[in-house]
Amino acid sequence: MDDLLDDVLPIVLSFLPAHDAVRTCVLSPRWRHLWTSAPGLRITAVGGFGNADKFNHFVDRLLFLRRHSDCPLESCEFDLDDREFDFNCISSFQHVYRWSLQSALDCNVRVLRCSFTDTNPNFPIVPDQLSEYPDPLLSQHLTRLDLHCIRCALDFSGCPVLVDLKMEYCITHAGEMVSPSLRQLSMICCELNMWHRTQITLPNLVRLEFVNCSGRLPLLESLPSLEMAVINLGEFSEDRCSRSASGCLDDDPCYNCRFHFEFIAQRGGSHFFQGLSRAKHLKVLAYYDDAFIFQRDLKWRPTFPMLKTLILDD
Protein backbone atom coordinates (compact mmCIF):
# COMPACT_ATOMS: atom_id res chain seq x y z
CA MET A 1 0.00 0.00 0.00
CA ASP A 2 2.81 2.40 0.85
CA ASP A 3 4.45 1.71 -2.51
CA LEU A 4 1.17 2.45 -4.26
CA LEU A 5 0.84 5.74 -2.41
CA ASP A 6 4.39 6.65 -3.33
CA ASP A 7 3.43 6.23 -6.99
CA VAL A 8 0.06 7.96 -6.79
CA LEU A 9 0.72 10.91 -4.48
CA PRO A 10 3.15 12.72 -6.81
CA ILE A 11 0.53 12.53 -9.56
CA VAL A 12 -2.11 13.95 -7.21
CA LEU A 13 0.24 16.79 -6.25
CA SER A 14 0.56 17.66 -9.94
CA PHE A 15 -3.05 18.85 -9.93
CA LEU A 16 -2.52 21.25 -7.02
CA PRO A 17 -1.35 24.83 -7.50
CA ALA A 18 2.39 24.92 -6.85
CA HIS A 19 2.12 27.01 -3.67
CA ASP A 20 -0.25 24.41 -2.18
CA ALA A 21 1.86 21.46 -3.32
CA VAL A 22 4.95 22.94 -1.66
CA ARG A 23 3.08 23.38 1.63
CA THR A 24 2.60 19.62 1.91
CA CYS A 25 6.26 19.36 2.93
CA VAL A 26 5.27 20.18 6.55
CA LEU A 27 2.75 17.33 6.88
CA SER A 28 5.30 14.69 7.89
CA PRO A 29 8.88 13.62 7.14
CA ARG A 30 7.55 11.37 4.40
CA TRP A 31 6.03 14.39 2.63
CA ARG A 32 9.07 16.62 3.00
CA HIS A 33 10.38 16.21 -0.55
CA LEU A 34 7.40 14.50 -2.13
CA TRP A 35 6.32 17.59 -4.07
CA THR A 36 9.65 17.61 -5.94
CA SER A 37 8.73 14.27 -7.54
CA ALA A 38 5.41 15.47 -9.01
CA PRO A 39 5.43 15.04 -12.81
CA GLY A 40 3.52 18.30 -13.29
CA LEU A 41 3.93 21.84 -11.95
CA ARG A 42 1.09 24.41 -11.90
CA ILE A 43 2.24 27.93 -11.10
CA THR A 44 -0.84 30.05 -10.52
CA ALA A 45 -1.66 33.54 -9.31
CA VAL A 46 -2.22 33.73 -5.57
CA GLY A 47 -2.49 36.36 -2.87
CA GLY A 48 -0.36 36.47 0.25
CA PHE A 49 3.06 37.28 -1.18
CA GLY A 50 2.56 41.00 -0.66
CA ASN A 51 4.61 42.15 -3.64
CA ALA A 52 5.85 40.98 -7.01
CA ASP A 53 9.48 40.49 -5.93
CA LYS A 54 8.53 37.82 -3.39
CA PHE A 55 6.33 36.00 -5.89
CA ASN A 56 9.06 36.14 -8.54
CA HIS A 57 11.60 34.77 -6.06
CA PHE A 58 9.22 31.93 -5.21
CA VAL A 59 8.87 31.02 -8.90
CA ASP A 60 12.64 31.16 -9.45
CA ARG A 61 13.36 29.00 -6.41
CA LEU A 62 10.62 26.55 -7.35
CA LEU A 63 12.02 26.01 -10.84
CA PHE A 64 15.58 25.80 -9.50
CA LEU A 65 14.65 22.97 -7.12
CA ARG A 66 12.76 21.10 -9.82
CA ARG A 67 15.64 21.51 -12.24
CA HIS A 68 17.94 19.79 -9.73
CA SER A 69 15.46 17.09 -8.72
CA ASP A 70 16.12 13.45 -9.55
CA CYS A 71 12.52 13.06 -10.78
CA PRO A 72 11.73 14.34 -14.28
CA LEU A 73 9.26 17.18 -14.72
CA GLU A 74 6.95 16.36 -17.62
CA SER A 75 4.73 19.45 -17.74
CA CYS A 76 4.69 23.02 -16.46
CA GLU A 77 1.79 25.46 -16.50
CA PHE A 78 1.74 29.20 -15.80
CA ASP A 79 -1.81 30.44 -15.17
CA LEU A 80 -1.60 34.04 -14.02
CA ASP A 81 -4.87 35.90 -13.48
CA ASP A 82 -4.50 39.44 -12.12
CA ARG A 83 -7.70 39.04 -10.08
CA GLU A 84 -5.98 36.48 -7.86
CA PHE A 85 -3.02 38.69 -6.91
CA ASP A 86 -3.12 41.17 -4.02
CA PHE A 87 -0.42 43.36 -5.59
CA ASN A 88 0.39 44.95 -8.95
CA CYS A 89 1.14 41.86 -11.01
CA ILE A 90 2.61 43.42 -14.17
CA SER A 91 6.23 42.90 -13.08
CA SER A 92 5.42 39.25 -12.33
CA PHE A 93 3.94 38.93 -15.81
CA GLN A 94 7.17 40.39 -17.18
CA HIS A 95 9.32 38.06 -15.11
CA VAL A 96 7.51 34.93 -16.25
CA TYR A 97 7.37 36.20 -19.82
CA ARG A 98 11.08 36.98 -20.11
CA TRP A 99 12.73 34.46 -17.80
CA SER A 100 10.53 31.79 -16.28
CA LEU A 101 9.30 30.22 -19.52
CA GLN A 102 12.82 29.37 -20.62
CA SER A 103 13.69 28.34 -17.06
CA ALA A 104 10.83 25.83 -17.17
CA LEU A 105 12.13 24.49 -20.47
CA ASP A 106 15.52 24.04 -18.84
CA CYS A 107 13.76 21.48 -16.61
CA ASN A 108 13.28 19.41 -19.79
CA VAL A 109 9.48 19.59 -19.72
CA ARG A 110 7.62 18.07 -22.65
CA VAL A 111 4.47 20.19 -22.20
CA LEU A 112 4.46 23.94 -21.47
CA ARG A 113 1.37 26.11 -21.02
CA CYS A 114 1.27 29.83 -20.34
CA SER A 115 -1.80 32.02 -19.85
CA PHE A 116 -1.95 35.67 -18.82
CA THR A 117 -5.31 37.19 -17.85
CA ASP A 118 -5.42 40.93 -17.24
CA THR A 119 -8.91 42.27 -16.50
CA ASN A 120 -7.80 45.88 -16.04
CA PRO A 121 -9.78 47.81 -18.70
CA ASN A 122 -6.90 50.28 -19.06
CA PHE A 123 -4.70 47.53 -20.51
CA PRO A 124 -5.07 45.84 -23.89
CA ILE A 125 -5.33 42.05 -24.08
CA VAL A 126 -1.55 41.83 -24.00
CA PRO A 127 -0.25 44.60 -21.67
CA ASP A 128 2.15 47.21 -23.08
CA GLN A 129 4.69 46.09 -20.49
CA LEU A 130 4.94 42.86 -22.48
CA SER A 131 5.48 44.68 -25.77
CA GLU A 132 8.97 43.31 -26.36
CA TYR A 133 9.24 39.88 -27.89
CA PRO A 134 11.12 37.38 -25.74
CA ASP A 135 14.01 35.43 -27.17
CA PRO A 136 12.98 32.31 -29.13
CA LEU A 137 12.34 29.34 -26.88
CA LEU A 138 15.01 26.64 -26.80
CA SER A 139 14.32 23.04 -25.83
CA GLN A 140 15.35 19.60 -27.02
CA HIS A 141 12.39 18.02 -25.19
CA LEU A 142 9.32 20.25 -25.70
CA THR A 143 6.57 18.54 -27.72
CA ARG A 144 3.50 20.66 -26.86
CA LEU A 145 3.16 24.41 -26.33
CA ASP A 146 -0.06 26.25 -25.37
CA LEU A 147 -0.01 30.06 -25.27
CA HIS A 148 -2.83 32.40 -24.22
CA CYS A 149 -2.71 36.22 -24.23
CA ILE A 150 1.01 36.46 -24.84
CA ARG A 151 3.20 38.24 -27.37
CA CYS A 152 5.53 35.81 -29.07
CA ALA A 153 7.89 35.33 -31.97
CA LEU A 154 7.22 32.48 -34.37
CA ASP A 155 10.69 31.01 -34.59
CA PHE A 156 10.46 27.50 -33.14
CA SER A 157 13.55 26.14 -34.84
CA GLY A 158 15.11 25.87 -31.37
CA CYS A 159 12.47 23.28 -30.41
CA PRO A 160 13.26 20.42 -32.82
CA VAL A 161 10.67 17.96 -31.42
CA LEU A 162 7.74 20.38 -31.00
CA VAL A 163 4.68 18.81 -32.65
CA ASP A 164 1.64 20.63 -31.19
CA LEU A 165 1.26 24.42 -30.91
CA LYS A 166 -1.88 26.23 -29.77
CA MET A 167 -2.14 30.02 -29.66
CA GLU A 168 -5.19 31.96 -28.43
CA TYR A 169 -5.45 35.76 -28.23
CA CYS A 170 -1.74 36.06 -28.90
CA ILE A 171 0.06 38.85 -30.73
CA THR A 172 2.78 38.18 -33.26
CA HIS A 173 4.05 40.47 -36.00
CA ALA A 174 6.79 38.10 -37.11
CA GLY A 175 7.71 37.95 -40.78
CA GLU A 176 7.78 34.17 -40.87
CA MET A 177 6.88 31.09 -38.88
CA VAL A 178 9.49 28.37 -38.75
CA SER A 179 9.33 24.87 -37.30
CA PRO A 180 10.78 21.73 -38.89
CA SER A 181 8.76 19.38 -36.68
CA LEU A 182 5.34 20.95 -36.02
CA ARG A 183 2.40 18.67 -36.89
CA GLN A 184 -0.58 20.52 -35.37
CA LEU A 185 -1.09 24.29 -35.34
CA SER A 186 -4.07 26.15 -33.90
CA MET A 187 -4.28 29.97 -34.05
CA ILE A 188 -7.49 31.39 -32.59
CA CYS A 189 -8.26 35.12 -32.33
CA CYS A 190 -4.60 36.06 -32.72
CA GLU A 191 -3.24 39.34 -34.08
CA LEU A 192 -0.88 39.11 -37.06
CA ASN A 193 1.08 41.81 -38.85
CA MET A 194 -1.16 44.47 -40.39
CA TRP A 195 1.36 45.63 -43.01
CA HIS A 196 3.09 42.46 -44.16
CA ARG A 197 2.07 38.85 -44.62
CA THR A 198 3.53 36.29 -42.26
CA GLN A 199 5.13 33.50 -44.25
CA ILE A 200 4.34 30.04 -42.86
CA THR A 201 6.61 27.16 -43.83
CA LEU A 202 5.86 23.97 -41.91
CA PRO A 203 6.96 20.90 -43.88
CA ASN A 204 5.49 18.36 -41.43
CA LEU A 205 2.22 20.10 -40.55
CA VAL A 206 -0.73 17.69 -40.63
CA ARG A 207 -3.54 19.75 -39.07
CA LEU A 208 -4.14 23.50 -39.29
CA GLU A 209 -6.77 25.57 -37.48
CA PHE A 210 -6.87 29.29 -38.28
CA VAL A 211 -9.88 31.07 -36.75
CA ASN A 212 -10.89 34.75 -36.43
CA CYS A 213 -7.40 36.21 -36.58
CA SER A 214 -6.83 39.90 -37.26
CA GLY A 215 -4.18 41.51 -39.43
CA ARG A 216 -3.14 40.27 -42.87
CA LEU A 217 -3.85 36.69 -43.84
CA PRO A 218 -0.63 34.68 -43.72
CA LEU A 219 1.11 33.27 -46.75
CA LEU A 220 0.92 29.47 -46.60
CA GLU A 221 4.14 28.80 -48.41
CA SER A 222 4.90 25.11 -47.92
CA LEU A 223 2.55 22.63 -46.24
CA PRO A 224 3.25 19.41 -48.16
CA SER A 225 2.07 17.09 -45.35
CA LEU A 226 -1.24 18.86 -44.65
CA GLU A 227 -4.24 16.56 -44.22
CA MET A 228 -6.86 18.70 -42.48
CA ALA A 229 -7.46 22.45 -42.34
CA VAL A 230 -10.18 24.54 -40.69
CA ILE A 231 -10.09 28.17 -41.84
CA ASN A 232 -12.42 30.89 -40.56
CA LEU A 233 -11.45 34.24 -42.06
CA GLY A 234 -13.51 36.06 -39.45
CA GLU A 235 -14.50 39.71 -39.32
CA PHE A 236 -11.22 41.29 -38.21
CA SER A 237 -8.98 40.53 -41.17
CA GLU A 238 -7.34 43.54 -42.82
CA ASP A 239 -7.80 41.87 -46.22
CA ARG A 240 -11.06 43.50 -47.16
CA CYS A 241 -12.13 46.00 -49.78
CA SER A 242 -13.36 49.30 -48.39
CA ARG A 243 -15.72 49.81 -51.34
CA SER A 244 -17.14 46.52 -52.57
CA ALA A 245 -17.61 42.93 -51.44
CA SER A 246 -15.92 41.67 -54.60
CA GLY A 247 -13.07 44.18 -54.58
CA CYS A 248 -12.43 47.36 -56.56
CA LEU A 249 -13.08 47.07 -60.28
CA ASP A 250 -11.91 50.51 -61.42
CA ASP A 251 -8.44 51.85 -62.23
CA ASP A 252 -8.13 53.55 -58.85
CA PRO A 253 -8.35 50.70 -56.30
CA CYS A 254 -8.40 51.24 -52.56
CA TYR A 255 -5.26 50.51 -50.55
CA ASN A 256 -6.27 46.99 -49.54
CA CYS A 257 -7.13 45.96 -53.10
CA ARG A 258 -3.91 47.44 -54.42
CA PHE A 259 -1.96 45.59 -51.72
CA HIS A 260 -3.66 42.34 -52.72
CA PHE A 261 -3.34 42.81 -56.49
CA GLU A 262 0.37 43.62 -56.30
CA PHE A 263 0.97 40.57 -54.12
CA ILE A 264 -0.94 38.25 -56.48
CA ALA A 265 0.96 39.64 -59.47
CA GLN A 266 4.24 38.73 -57.80
CA ARG A 267 3.01 35.30 -56.69
CA GLY A 268 1.38 34.37 -59.99
CA GLY A 269 -1.38 32.32 -58.39
CA SER A 270 -3.96 32.17 -55.64
CA HIS A 271 -3.05 33.69 -52.32
CA PHE A 272 -4.51 31.30 -49.78
CA PHE A 273 -5.78 28.11 -51.41
CA GLN A 274 -2.49 27.37 -53.08
CA GLY A 275 -0.97 26.58 -49.67
CA LEU A 276 -3.90 24.29 -48.81
CA SER A 277 -3.77 22.27 -52.02
CA ARG A 278 -2.48 19.07 -50.36
CA ALA A 279 -5.27 18.91 -47.77
CA LYS A 280 -7.53 15.86 -47.61
CA HIS A 281 -10.21 17.52 -45.49
CA LEU A 282 -10.85 21.26 -45.85
CA LYS A 283 -13.36 23.60 -44.21
CA VAL A 284 -13.30 27.29 -45.14
CA LEU A 285 -15.66 29.87 -43.63
CA ALA A 286 -15.94 33.56 -44.46
CA TYR A 287 -18.72 35.31 -42.58
CA TYR A 288 -18.13 38.96 -43.43
CA ASP A 289 -19.41 40.46 -46.69
CA ASP A 290 -16.13 41.79 -48.04
CA ALA A 291 -13.96 38.67 -47.84
CA PHE A 292 -12.68 39.33 -51.32
CA ILE A 293 -9.52 37.22 -50.95
CA PHE A 294 -11.75 34.20 -50.41
CA GLN A 295 -13.80 35.06 -53.49
CA ARG A 296 -10.89 35.94 -55.74
CA ASP A 297 -8.90 32.85 -54.80
CA LEU A 298 -11.79 30.71 -56.03
CA LYS A 299 -11.55 32.43 -59.43
CA TRP A 300 -8.09 30.89 -59.85
CA ARG A 301 -9.82 27.51 -59.84
CA PRO A 302 -7.40 25.94 -57.37
CA THR A 303 -6.96 22.18 -57.54
CA PHE A 304 -6.93 19.79 -54.59
CA PRO A 305 -5.74 16.40 -55.86
CA MET A 306 -5.85 14.77 -52.39
CA LEU A 307 -9.18 16.25 -51.27
CA LYS A 308 -11.84 13.94 -49.80
CA THR A 309 -14.04 16.39 -47.85
CA LEU A 310 -14.73 20.05 -48.69
CA ILE A 311 -16.97 22.51 -46.83
CA LEU A 312 -17.25 26.09 -48.10
CA ASP A 313 -19.36 28.79 -46.44
CA ASP A 314 -19.25 32.34 -47.72
Boundaries of domain holding 208: 157-314
Q: Which pLDDT value is given to residue 122?
A: 46
Last residue of a domain, one of 134, 152, 170: 152
Q: Which pLDDT value is given to residue 70?
A: 85
Distance CA 186, CA 205 (A): 11
User: Is 89 a member of any domain?
Assistant: yes
Say if residue 210 is in the same domain as residue 79: no
What residues in the chain have per-residue pLDDT under 50?
Answer: 1-2, 4, 121-125, 129, 265
Residues 80 and 92 sit within 8 Å (Cβ to Cβ):
yes
The total of other beta-carbon atoms located within 10 Å of residue 196's CB is 15
| Model pLDDT for residues 127-173, shown as the tens digit of each residue | 554 555 677 889 999 999 999 988 888 889 899 999 999 999 998 88
Q: How far apart are the first and last CA of the chain?
A: 61
Q: Which pLDDT value is given to residue 248?
A: 59
Q: Which pLDDT value is given to residue 121?
A: 45
Distance CA 131, CA 291 (A): 30
Distance CA 213, CA 121 (A): 21
Q: How many domains does the chain have?
A: 2
Say if residue 144 is in the same domain as residue 177: no
Say if residue 181 is in the same domain as residue 102: no
| Model pLDDT for residues 176-199, shown as the tens digit of each residue | 888 989 999 999 999 998 878 888
Identify the CA nearest to 177 among candidates 141, 223, 134, 144.
Answer: 223
